[in-house]
Every structure is written in C-alpha cells, then in structure tokens.
Structure 1
Amino acid sequence: MKTAVIQFPGSNCDADAVYVAGELLGQQAKLVWHTETSLEGVDAVLIPGGFSYGDHLRSGAIAARSPIMHEVRRFAERGGPVVGICNGFQILTEAGLLPGALTRNDSLHFLCHDVHLRVERTDTIFTSAYRQGQVLRLPIAHNEGNYYADEETLARLRGEGRVLFRYVTPGGEVERAANPNGSQNNIAGILNERGNVLGMMPHPERAAEALLGGTDGRGLFESLLAAVVR
C-alpha cells in the first residue's frame, strides 16, 4: 500500500502519519506538499492533524481550497480511501467531502487528553480489524472539534450508519459526560455516502504502538491495509 500524507503549512502530525502508514506497517508512505497536483500511483490518502494555514478564516478553510485537494476529491470520487484526522476532518468538511462542520469546543478551551470512543461498525474499510462495539482509547488535541450538522443531516448519518465512532465512557455508554467537545450525538467520526472517506477528531496515529502508551489506533491502519491489498 502506498499512502500519500498531505502536508500543508501548519501541519504537525504529518511525520507521525508517515511513520505509522509507512514504517510501522512496513508499507510505502510519502509526504505530498499542498501545491502538488498529482496523486498518481497512490492507494490511500491521509490528511493529518495540525493547524493548516494557522487556522485563519476557519479551521481547514484555506487548506480545502489548495491545489492538491482537487486531486483528493477526484481520488475519492474514484473510490479511493481517504482519512482525515483532526484538522484533516475539518478540511474534509470545508472541502464538501463530508457533511457538517467542526466548531469551537463548547468549553471554549483547547483540549489535549485521552478519550474513549466506540466502534459503531466493523464492516467498513477502516474498522474491519476491530470488534463491534469495541471501546478505544485515543488522544485528542483540538480547539474546534465540536461536530455540528442540521437535523436532516444528522438523521441521514444515523439512518445510513455513517457515524463510525462515538465518544463514550470507558464502559461504552454514550453519555454527555463522555463528550469532550459538545459534538452532536457524541459524534467522533463519520463516513461519506460511499463509505470510502472518513473524518475523525481523535488521533489513531498517536496510539499505534505501545511505546506511545497504547495501540488502539493501529487497527484503523491495519483495516485500511487489508482493504487495499485484498
């Protein structure tokens, strides 16, 4: 599997993503600068976290209009797998590849700590390595992670099974106290209609080996690898 990790001015999880998708999985991974205009030969695209363009205007707003995102859109339209993590999730919503928006945390504070999230489906290219209902512990680091969408969109996400991860208690219960940022329906990650584009706020690449304190995030990358090489 050859993964393109999109790099913007202000990205700060790009090297982590290259390490996990490349060295940790024993695959190929490369940085692709935001001004490039080709994704030829790529099997998967990962848009990492950070503060692209200093979060000017809105988080992800400028990055969503960069040259490489035209290619990311075409790649996704052809069915290619795309993962946006944290700022990458924000960029995907700004680019129209995922519905809704990521707004200020309801606490109005930057949050940086571990959270628990529940795997809602395992029949996707991103979660086949997990168990249905499995509770993961992953870190978050964001100021604008509060997922918002209108009621019609939320109903469609629920009805079509496109909420892939929800914030939960360590025991797997969906409770307000387990929601770190105020996201509607405790949403931590969603899919597009086709199921090949994922946006999520928690960082699986920061929890992919024991040295970092946990391996719960590794399953996402292993699931993607299995889907690409099958």
Structure 2
Amino acid sequence: MKVAEVTVYVNGKEVKVPENITVLEACERAGVDVPTLCHHPRLGESIGACRVCIVEIEGVKNLQPACVTKVRDGMKIKTHTERVKKAVRFNLALLLSEHPNDCMTCEANGRCEFQDLIYEYNVEPIFGYGSDEGPYDASSPAIIRDMAKCIKCQRCVRACSELQGMYIYSMTERGYKTLPMTPFEIPVYETECTSCGQCALFCPTGAIVENSAVR
C-alpha cells in the first residue's frame, strides 16, 4: 500500500515526503544537514534528548526538535536562521559546561561528534568546563567507560537494548545527575555484557571507548 505524501518546505525548497516521517528525515531528503547528537539512523525512534536538532517551524511559537516532530502538509521549516543557530549554540554550551576540558588527551579526539559541533558553532562553556571526575570503569576487556564525558544522549543504552537485546545499561538518577549505568552500578565485567563494543561505536564522545591493549 502506497504511503500518502505531504508537501513541506525546507528553507524555501518544496519537498514531497511520506506523511509519517519526522522533520529531521524531511530535511535529509531535502539535502539539508541538521546537527544531531542523540539521534542515530541505525537506532529506533529518536528521543529528543540533546535538543541540538531544533528548527523553526512557521506558525509555531517555540523551536522544535526535528528528530521527534512529525511533518504535516504545508509545513514550512527553517533550519539555520539566526534564532536557531543561537539556540543550538546555547544548548551545546550547556553540554560543554558539564564536560571536562581534556580533548587533547581524550581517546576520541579527532573523531568526536560533540567536538565537531563545538568547533563548527564556535562554542564556549557558559559556566566553565565540567569536572573530569565521574564514574570510571575499566573492568571490561572490551571497553572503558568514563562518565565524566557523558552528554546523556542515551545512544549507548539504546544500542545495547535495541541492537543487542542485552539491556546492560539504564539511565539512573534525574536531571543533570542522570547517567547510563549498569544495574546497581556494578562493573561492566560483572554483568552479562558480551563485549560487542556497540556502546563504544555509538557513543558520540569519549565517554565509552574501546579498551585497547596498546596505550
């Protein structure tokens, strides 16, 4: 059965898209790049956690997260207005204010999605950099977890559950204290982790990296 289509306008460009997709997907079909951190195309429905993909929609007062907002016929979307860029920069600055300033020594330096966006938007932390102290676990032969670098995107949680069906991690605490942790915060080595490395692969920062034998 053919899916009904709607017409949307991305930065003035008319695009026909399936009626059940998100604004982010519509932007991709229009060839427009929208920054994301918590979204990943290999994972299921997005959760809108990072608020980096916000866009302006005509007739809607507040900026909307593109990854969880569904398109509607006639929708007019603006992705890179000054208002949007200012808001994206502010949201990135908030994340950076909880992140340690250790890019030069981080395992993910040069291949960090978060770092790329910080450079692209020329972001400085609002309240200074975050602490480099947080839950640290090098018990696994496959991965090292340094939660001081976590931006709470939940991609590791979703990759583990959705792709591997293992459910090793879940989000604990609330607010700025929330982190992806193992049950009762036991070391990864003591869980049923299969050392597949998916959590490290999907992590957009250096919070979870491969445990290399050569350091």
> Is TM (by shorter chain) over 0.5?
no
Q: TM-score, normalised by structure 2?
A: 0.27
Rg comparison, structure with higher value: 2
Is the strand fraction higher in 1 or 2? 1
Q: TM-score, normalised by structure 1?
A: 0.25
